[in-house]
Each structure stands twice: as structure tokens, then as C-alpha cells.
Amino acid sequence: MFKASVIALSLLAPLAASLPLPASAAVDIGVAIRIPPPAPRYEVVPAPRPGFVWVPGYWAWRGNQHVWIGGTWVAGRPGYVYNHPHWVERNGQWYFTGGHWARHDKDRDGVPNARDSDRDGDGVPNWVDRHPNSTGR
């Protein structure tokens, strides 16, 4: 039984590697490539869908070439912001990060954390500050 499981797993593993990654996973392919991705393709964005976020298409690296992955809808997550898949160039090398969800509003006041960490400058983060807009002056 164990031997059959190992054989089945060894046959399925290459297939699993070629499947698209889930939209909620932050993925750095861990491989530096020297070939920059082509310019993004133009896609017509469908009409908005309540409770969903549009993820535009992007270039993925598959089998030693860039392959276009078309845009799609992903279910929204309240309190999170979706970071789109993207390529980053560092020192002549290109690195890919897959799309993923990131928390963006710890205090749930509707203001993203990047602009909301300490509005009144008292040194207390807004999400634990009883009076985040009071300067105390």
C-alpha cells in the first residue's frame, strides 16, 4: 500500500507544479530570471460584481517563457486589500510575487493602515488609541 502511494504521488507531483496558484497565496517564484515580462495586455474589465475584486491579467513564468494569465474575479475579504501579481526588477534580475490578500485596516475605521498608524502623533497606534484624533493640546 505504501509503495503504491509513493508511486502515485511521484506521478502526480509534476502535474501539481503546473497548476495555477490560488489567488490568496503570496508567491515569490524564488528564481531570478533575466528576461523582463512583456507589456501587460489590454483587458476589458467586466462590470463590477458585488463581493468580488477584479484581478487583472499578468505574465507568469512557465516552462522558460512568459505566459499570459487572464484576469479573473476573486471573492472579496472585508478588512483586506488585494495585492495584484507583479514582477519586480532588482539588479538586472526579475522576481515574481503572486497575488495575495493583506490586512489593511486593523482598527476597522475605513482608513488604510498606511495612512492610519498614528494620526495625532502621540506615539500610540490608532487601533489601540482611545482618542486617535486628539492632539492633547
pLDDT at 6 over 50: no
Q: Give the integer Cα–Cα distance in Å for 49 and 76.
A: 10
Residue 82: which of 93, 90, 71 has the closest Cα? 71
Rg (CA), the chain: 21
pLDDT per residue as tens digits for the range 31-71: 789 999 999 999 999 999 999 999 999 999 998 999 999 99
Q: Give the integer Cα–Cα distance in Å for 130 and 126.
A: 8
